[in-house]
Structure 1
């Protein structure tokens, strides 16, 4: 029997519609990822209708071999594409592998994403050619690609690695200099332990605006709920947008 004196609780407010519906038609294999990414963008306060180019940078140092073999890197590429379809209407994510050097940019697209990581990895020599860890080469590749694209919308760069680089000082300088550009760097760590250097970059001083975040995906990135990864990537991106606009980096 209902208690007439008990106040009824209002139904929870629905999630805002912004960003939940992808901008382009999505293959069946990516629908769940796209919807989950859309919810995270909304939670992060990313404005409805915002356009942004999504990049994916992947560490190809030797310590990453198991993550290529077990599909973790391919899954991250799928997740990046699921995020991109909410922000960019071309359905494409430029992918940059790096170790001692950056590798040529390849597009991960809605009609060419399955197995693309393994194919590119083998094209570059597979495990036998995996090298060291130099962040700045990959960062420069992204910056050059973004500039040459003629884009006026911001860029969201998912930068994956499992360890600190061999060019720490140059990386600090590069990130500080890049803070004057409309590019946000979302660092994603793989591995059992958090990467102390990425935590340092997240708090780096001397930047025009805080242009980076760090999320640790752990030793089993494939087993991590997609929602957690997307929340980790989009949370600070949502806060960076108004800060970058206030500094004149965005219209």
Structure 2
């Protein structure tokens, strides 16, 4: 059995599993109720029939059922091998009849192989004043199933949680218990405009400084809202960060513009990457790969690794463990070299998900021919390149023409430039970063570049 922490996930090969919500009995303990929500790729129920709980214990068409409470355990059973292809996720939730979860002792979740009775995973849940909880989720990735420990609470109760996933709630009844969340057969869910599924919880996210954790949570919601517009709320991708560290970028590093940008795009990786990580490179005359960025290490990583290029004679501090020698990177920008290195990395470390490259540069591009050759060749690879221009006066050469460049099976490149990155709201930044990625996914699938 694997012990999971919040945000961690495991592969699930069992054809059928039971997810148990357990707790320790206490005085006047009302007990907990488990339930399951069947979600599409948009992160929503298809209809109110997709809510399985004790008043609707068997789904009418899918092999999901509520097993009922036995002592201090309530459970749902999911036959993963028989689920329809339009179901991407089973959200396993629980409520405490209006009682805050911080009063529930010994709260935990277990995943059990139905056929063998083997415990696959356990998640000990620490909760606060919330009265409803998304405990964990079974989700489909490239034809296989995984389980993620979530532990995300709703102060608005089960009614608020269910509504956020698209269930219709009788607004005249505000008791927020499972009894009020009644499935209404054949009726489409009443969604609030712009509402999206809750974001993923990242491993170690709870260890971040409080202010950074709050910013990350808000930003992940904005990323999910953007993705949900394209039916991709539960999309996954490997995220690669590329930072221009050439000499003309020094003032942006000195003003911490790049540091703030890295924190902001961290929310994209936290939502898209199963392990909430980014691979990262810096480049000038030469590329250099940085240590992988785990969201849990975001403040330390930014402090150590977000640095501009330098000349050896100007170094004033010794290198810290894991830091790149930026004097070897140089100060003149040659984008084609880092593009080639990222392509090579993706080729030798294939994954079942596509790769999204977020490439920051302040322009001054002069290797147009070499860059175009690299990106044309990359059009047949499972990589989407999103270039972000920092400033609009330096000139971006071929990058400004790539959207109209012919001779590629798919348009694998996006580009926008902005004078002042800090002036963009998070919502605007994520809209620009992600607006072309969904259409590339669709085109790349049609061309059999990605699955």
> TM-score if structure 2 supplies the norm length?
0.49
Q: Comparing 113-122 with 96-105, which one deviates more in the overlay?
A: 113-122
Corresponding residue number in structure 2 for 1:210: 411
User: Equivalents in 2 of 1:217, 1:128: separation in Å?
Assistant: 29
Check conservation: 2:202, 2:270, Cα contact below 8 A: yes
User: Equivalents in 2 of 1:67, 1:126: separation in Å?
Assistant: 16
> What SS class does the counterpart of residue 385 from structure 2 fall into?
strand
User: Equivalents in 1 of 2:436, 2:263: separation in Å?
Assistant: 21
User: Equivalents in 2 of 1:148, 1:128: separation in Å?
Assistant: 24
Q: Comparing 229-238 with 114-123, which one deviates more in the overlay?
A: 114-123
1:118 offset after TM fit, Å? 4.4
User: Does residue 24 in structure 1 map to residue 240 in structure 2?
Assistant: no
User: Equivalents in 1 of 2:433, 2:385: separation in Å?
Assistant: 9
User: Equivalents in 2 of 1:129, 1:85: separation in Å?
Assistant: 28
Corresponding residue number in structure 1 for 2:167: none
Check conservation: 2:225, 2:233, Cα contact below 8 A: no
Q: Deviations over 1:69-91 (max 9, x none)?
A: 11111122112210111111111
1:12 offset after TM fit, Å? 8.2
Corresponding residue number in structure 1 for 2:259: 74
Name structure 1 gaps, 5 residues minimum. Answer: 1-10
The CA RMSD over aligned residues, in Å, is 2.4
- Residue of 161, 182, 194 corresponding to 1:15: 194
The one of the two structures with greater contact order (alpha-carbon pairs below 8 A, sep at least 6) is 1
User: Equivalents in 2 of 1:58, 1:189: separation in Å?
Assistant: 11
Check conservation: 1:189, 1:195, Cα contact below 8 A: no
Q: Deviations over 1:161-200 (max 9, x none)?
A: 0114332101001101100011000000101437442211
Judged with a 3 Å threshold, the aligned counterparts in structure 2 of structure 1 residues 65 and 128 are, in CA distance, closer, same or farther, namely: farther
Judged with a 3 Å threshold, the aligned counterparts in structure 2 of structure 1 residues 194 and 47 are, in CA distance, closer, same or farther, namely: farther
Corresponding residue number in structure 2 for 1:48: 233
1:128 offset after TM fit, Å? 11
Name structure 2 gaps, 5 residues minimum. Answer: 1-189, 308-318
User: Does residue 37 in structure 1 map to residue 216 in structure 2?
Assistant: no
User: Equivalents in 1 of 2:435, 2:378: separation in Å?
Assistant: 20
- Count of matched residue pairs: 238
Larger Rg: 2
Check conservation: 1:23, 1:89, Cα contact below 8 A: no
User: Equivalents in 1 of 2:345, 2:326: separation in Å?
Assistant: 25
Check conservation: 2:390, 2:421, Cα contact below 8 A: yes
Check conservation: 2:285, 2:329, Cα contact below 8 A: no
Greater per-residue helix proportion: 1
Corresponding residue number in structure 2 for 1:137: 337
User: Equivalents in 2 of 1:147, 1:46: separation in Å?
Assistant: 28
User: Equivalents in 2 of 1:158, 1:46: separation in Å?
Assistant: 21
User: Equivalents in 1 of 2:447, 2:394: separation in Å?
Assistant: 31
User: Equivalents in 1 of 2:249, 2:384: separation in Å?
Assistant: 24
Check conservation: 1:62, 1:127, Cα contact below 8 A: no
> TM-score if structure 1 supplies the norm length?
0.86
User: Equivalents in 2 of 1:84, 1:46: separation in Å?
Assistant: 18
Greater per-residue strand proportion: 2
Check conservation: 1:77, 1:108, Cα contact below 8 A: no
User: Equivalents in 2 of 1:92, 1:46: separation in Å?
Assistant: 23
